[in-house]
Amino acid sequence: MATKRAARREFRMSTWLNLNDEPYTFSAYRAEMLSKAESLALSKAMRQRLPREIRDMIYACCLATSSEFDRPLHNFMKMRLQDPDAPPFSGGFSLPHFLIPEFVGSEAVQEAVEVHYRTKAMVFDKAMSFNISKGSAPPLSDALALDYFWTGHIPANLIRSLRFELLSQPESRRTNVRYDCFTRWLLSLLQLPQSILERISVEFRTWGKTPCIVYTLGVMADMFAQLRGVGVKVMVMVYGYNAQQKFGLTYTLDLPEKEQAAEWRKNIAHRM
């Protein structure tokens, strides 16, 4: 019997080593198993004794205070969007333990993901925006319909904020083509139901030299007006350069109506 137990333990250890592809001592393996057991017990007790409102506050606190998770989570979601079959631990990114069923159980992960979607912006960073502008990014409908954390929840049903980061570039034929791809990609939001559009807010961030920013905002003005026309809340953040070519002040811009766009661009150029 002891021999069988030792064989089973050795098999589990070899499986663990093969999955993680790194040297792992038995003491570290045992500590990992104890950590999972304690986390599962704590998570089960929390779900049994605390109402959902209090649990949501705990999840929100974990997400808010764990700032080191923000960028890895965004990177993980971007990696999953580009490769839907990517496992939880790949590409150098790993999920925090409160989003892994083996540590807290599938029910807790589902609740945490709901809070994540409701409280955090879904970020399309400058690298993703560059792929969008080249036409090589997955459709926005796919981005909002992918079950990123394998919980059955998709962002479109819960998300409240989208953030796009785009480097302002000088006017040229290539820039015009890229901006046209970007605006058409973002305007595919209009295919979503009205109830979702009224819930979503879009934050558009751009930076660069003043003429490039003015040109970019001028091109995007019609897109902003269309989004606002269907109830989407839109905010523009401009990160300008100062005379030393370093980041200067950040401007939060009130978006104009379509017919006011030309005057608006003049005011922005004067402010910067």
Per-residue pLDDT tens for 165-175? 888 888 898 89
pLDDT of 51 over the 90 cut: yes
Half-sphere exposure of 185 (CA within 13 A, CB side): 24
User: Residue for token digits 């990177």?
Assistant: 75
Nearest 5°: the CA angle 117, 135, 186 is: 40
How do the domains of the chain map onto residue ranges?
Answer: 27-271
Say if residue 260's pLDDT is above 90: no
Rounded Cα distance between 232 and 159, Å, is: 13
Other CB atoms within a 10 A radius of the CB of residue 201 amount to 15
Q: Mean pLDDT, to the nearest integer, of 122-151?
A: 83
Token pair in block for residue 29: 């393996």
Q: What number is the average pLDDT over the span 109-133?
A: 86
The percent of residues above 90 in pLDDT, for the chain, comes to 8
Q: Is residue 263 scored above 60 in pLDDT? A: no
**Which tokens hold the place of 75?**
């990177």
202 vs 266, residue with greater confidence: 202
> Tokens for 157?
């049903």
The predicted pLDDT at position 244 comes to 41
Q: Give 206 or 254, the one with higher predicted confidence.
A: 206
**Strand 233-241 relative to strand 161-167, pairing:** unpaired
| Chain segment 202-252, per-residue pLDDT in tens | 988 888 877 888 888 888 888 888 898 898 988 888 776 544 444 444 444
Predicted pLDDT of residue 122: 87
Does the structure show a pLDDT above 80 at 31? no
Q: How confident is the model at residue 55 (pLDDT cuts 50, 70, 90)?
A: very high
pLDDT at residue 17, as a whole number: 44
Q: Tokens for 124, please give them.
A: 């399309």
Residues 6+ apart with CB under 8 A from 185: 132, 137, 139, 140
pLDDT band, very low/low/confident/very high, at 111 (cuts 50, 70, 90): very high
Mean pLDDT of the chain: 75
Residue 161, Cβ neighbours under 10 Å: how many? 18
**Is residue 270 very low, low, confident or very high in pLDDT (cuts 50, 70, 90)?**
low
